[in-house]
Amino acid sequence: MKTIKFQLLTLFIALSFYGCQQSYFFDEAVVVNNEAWNYNQPLNFKVDIQDTKKKYNLYFDIEHSTDYSFQNMYVQIHTTFPNGEKTSVPLSIDFMDKTGRWNGKCSSGFCKLRVQLKTAIQFKEPGQYGFEFEQFMRKENLRGIKNLAFRMEEVGGS
C-alpha cells in the first residue's frame, strides 16, 4: 500500500512540473556549430499564421558562454510576409549591464538570455512568415554562442 501511495505521489509531482513548463505556438532552437556563430550562417524560421485575431509575444533566446568576448551583439532581423514584402530591423542585444555583470540566468559557465522582440503582436494577413536572424558584428565568428532559439507565445484570443 505504501508503494502505491509513493508511486501516486511521485506521478503527481512529475505532472505538476510538466504542467508548469512553457508552451509555445512556435519553438525552434539551433545548436551553433563549434560555439561560434558565423555571419555567413543566418538562422531561418518559417511560421504559419492562420488566425489574424490572435496575439503573440516573440522571443529570441541566446545561450552563451561566460567566455563571450563582447558586452553586446548586433543582430539583423529580416521578416518576409506572406505577400512577399520584406523588412529588416537591426537589434542591439546587451549581454552585460554597465557594471560588467551578465544579463540573464547564468550557471556553470553558461548564461541564458531572453530578448523580447515583440509584445502582443497581431499578424495582419494569414500565411507563411519567414524570420531570418543574422549576426551583424565586425567579427566573422562570434565565439561563445552555444544555442539560439526563436519562440512565439500565444497571449490571448481576439
Cell representation of residue 111: 548564461
Contacts of 83 (CB under 8 A, 6+ apart): 125, 127
**Ranges assigned E (strand) in 81-144:** 86-94, 105-107, 110-121, 127-135, 141-143
For residue range 61-91, what is the model confidence (pLDDT) as tens digits?
Answer: 999 999 999 999 999 999 999 999 999 999 9
> Other C-beta atoms within 10 Å of 47: how many?
17
pLDDT higher than threshold 90 for residue 22: no
Q: What domains can be seen in the chain, in order of their start residue? A: 24-156 (2.60.120)
**8 Å CB contact between 126 and 49:** yes
Work out the pLDDT band at 23, boundaries 50, 70, 90.
Answer: confident
Taking only the tens place, the pLDDT of each residue in 31-68 is 999 999 999 999 999 999 999 999 999 999 999 999 99
**Whole-model pTM?**
0.82
Distance (Å) of CA 103 to CA 54, 71, 112, 134: 31, 10, 8, 21
